[in-house]
Amino acid sequence: MADELYLENIDEFVTDQNRVVTYKWLSYTLGVHVNQAKQMLYDYVERKRKENSGAQLHVTYLVAGNLLQNGHVCHKVAVVREDKLEAMKSKLSTVSSVHVYSVQKALLKDSSPLYNTDYDIVKTNLQHCSRFSAIRCAAAVPRTPAEAPPAPAQSPRSQRDPGAAGTLNGHGPPAAKAPPQQHKGIMGMFAAKAAAKAQDTPKEAKAEAKEAPGVSAASSKPPTKNNIMNNFFGKAAMNKLKANSVPEQPKEEKEVVKPSVAVAEPESSPNTVAEKPGKKAESARIQQKDKKSKTKRADRSDDEEERDPENVKKKRKRIKQLQSDSSDDEDVPPSPTLEEERAPSPPPAPAPKAELEPASTEVAAGARKRKRKRVLKSKMFIDEEEGCMGKAG
C-alpha cells in the first residue's frame, strides 16, 4: 500500500543507509509536499517506537514561536534535539509551530549534518527548489530572453571563449581587451574562408582530432596570425605569447568561432562576451597555462587533443578530461557552462563548420606534435603534483 511504502522507505534510509533524513531530503527524494514529509517522519517515529521501544532513533524538532527578549517580542525559530524540545517550548511565550525536522540513527553533536544533508539535496534540485514548498509565488517566472538583455544570449558563446581568451591573454585576466581585438582580426580571416566548407560539426570534430594532413595550410596561418597578435600585444608580452600563440590561436579560434552563429556580424558581441565570462574561466585557463609553462606547447597541444576526442563524442567530457589530466581541482564552473555551450554549437551549423575546417588543420598540426611531447607532458604532470600549491584555481 502506498501508506506502508513510505514507512519502509524511511526505515531503509535511516537504518540501512544510516542517513540523516531531514524533512526536506525526504520531500525531494519521495517527491512529496514538505508538510507530508514532516508528517511521514512523525508517523515513522511513532510507529517505530511503538513496535520497539529500544529502537535506536534520534529525532530533531523544529520549534518556532514568540519570545520576549530585550524588551521586544522576538520570533524565534530553532532546531532542537528531542531532549531539549520541552525546554524550548516552555521558553517560548507562544508556540507557533512544532514539527519533526530530521530522523537519524546516531545522536547528533551539532547541527552541521543537518545543514549538509539539506545543502546536498537542494544542490541537486536547484532548478525546482520550490516545487514541494508550501508557498507558490506567481511572480517567480524565469525572465524571457527578450527581457534579459544581451548577456544571456551571449553567455553561451562567451563561455566557450574562456579557453581562447585565457590562453591568448598570457598576462592575466585584466587584459581582456586584447583577445577580442585578436579575435576580430582572426575571425576576419576566417570569414573569408567561410564560404568554402559546410559539413557536420561532429564529423569535423572527429576530423580535427585525427587529421594529420593539411598541416601546411595550418602552418601558413600561424605566421600571419602572429603578426596580428604582434599588433595588439606589446613586446614584453610577445615573448611570452610567442610559444603560446601558434598552437593556441588555431585552437582558440576554433573555439571562439564555434559558438558564434555568424562570424561576420556579431564580432563585437563575442568579443564583449569573451571579456566577461572569459575572465572567470580565463583565470582558470591562465593558471592552467602557467602551470604548464615548462612545456608550453606540449601541454596545450595535448590538452587540445584531449579535448578533441571528447569533442567528437559528446563535447561534454571535454572539460572533465581536462580536469583529470591537468590539475586536481580544475574549477567545475567552466565545465557545466562549457557543456551548455557545446550544445548550442551544433545548431549554428554553417558558419562555424566552415571555420572548423581550417581549425582542424591546425589541430592536426598539434596532433603531429603529440607523439613527441607525450612524455614531456606526463613528466610535467608529475611535476605539477609535486609543486602543487594546494588548491588550484
**Interactions with other proteins, residue window 45-64 (CB under 8 A):** 46, 60, 62, 64
Phi and psi at residue 69, in whole multiples of 5°?
Answer: -145, 130
* Calpha distance 289→297 (Å, rounded): 10
CB of 363 to other proteins, least distance (A): 28
Among 137, 146, 236, 382, binds other proteins (CB under 8 A): 137
> Between residue 89 and residue 118, which ones bind other proteins under the rule CB under 8 A?
91, 94-100, 108-112, 114-115, 118
What is the 3-class SS of 174-209, one letter each residue? CCCCHHHHHHHHHHHHHHHHCCCCCCCHHHHHHHHH
Residue nearer to other proteins on the CB measure, 40 or 164:
40
Among 50, 123, 235, 371, binds other proteins (CB under 8 A): 123
* Calpha distance 249→259 (Å, rounded): 16
* Calpha distance 282→288 (Å, rounded): 9
CB of 31 to other proteins, least distance (A): 14
Decide: helix, strand or coil at residue 262.
coil
CB of 85 to other proteins, least distance (A): 9
Cell of 121: 539535496
Decide: helix, strand or coil at residue 68.
strand
CB of 111 to other proteins, least distance (A): 3
Query: Using the rule CB under 8 A, is 250 a contact of other proteins?
Result: no
Among 120, 200, 290, 385, binds other proteins (CB under 8 A): 290
CA-based nearest residue to 242, from 223, 255, 257, 256: 223
Query: Using the rule CB under 8 A, is 292 a contact of other proteins?
Result: no
Q: Between the CA of residue 159 and those of 100, 223, 324, 338, 359, what are the distances in Å? A: 44, 27, 20, 6, 19
Specify the stretch interacting with other proteins by CB under 8 A; choose among 129-137, 181-189, 215-223, 238-246: 129-137
Cell of 168: 591568448
Cβ-in-10-Å burial (0-12, 13-18, 19+) of 54 comes to exposed
- CB within 8 Å of 223: residues ≥ 6 apart: none
Decide: helix, strand or coil at residue 244.
helix
CB of 106 to other proteins, least distance (A): 14
Residue nearer to other proteins on the CB measure, 39 or 230:
39
Query: Using the rule CB under 8 A, is 140 a contact of other proteins?
Result: yes
> Between residue 293 and residue 332, which ones bind other proteins under the rule CB under 8 A?
327, 331
Residue nearer to other proteins on the CB measure, 21 or 218:
21
CB of 222 to other proteins, least distance (A): 27
CB of 14 to other proteins, least distance (A): 17
> Between residue 146 and residue 205, which ones bind other proteins under the rule CB under 8 A?
147-148, 151-152, 155
CB of 172 to other proteins, least distance (A): 10
CA-based nearest residue to 37, from 22, 56, 59, 16: 22
Among 5, 18, 31, 74, binds other proteins (CB under 8 A): 74
CB of 69 to other proteins, least distance (A): 8
Q: Between the CA of residue 231 and those of 181, 182, 275, what are the distances in Å? A: 10, 9, 19
Residue nearer to other proteins on the CB measure, 12 or 200:
12
> Between residue 355 and residue 384, which ones bind other proteins under the rule CB under 8 A?
none
Query: Using the rule CB under 8 A, is 141 a contact of other proteins?
Result: yes
Among 180, 259, 277, 358, binds other proteins (CB under 8 A): 277
CB of 156 to other proteins, least distance (A): 11
Q: Per this entry, what is the length of the chain?
A: 393
* Calpha distance 277→284 (Å, rounded): 11
Residue nearer to other proteins on the CB measure, 141 or 236:
141
Q: What is the pattern of x (binds other proteins, CB under 8 A) and - over residues 255-274? A: --------------------
Q: Between the CA of residue 239 and those of 233, 234, 235, what are the distances in Å? A: 10, 9, 7
* Calpha distance 219→232 (Å, rounded): 21
Query: Using the rule CB under 8 A, is 75 a contact of other proteins?
Result: yes
Query: Using the rule CB under 8 A, is 240 a contact of other proteins?
Result: no
CB of 263 to other proteins, least distance (A): 24
* Calpha distance 311→318 (Å, rounded): 6
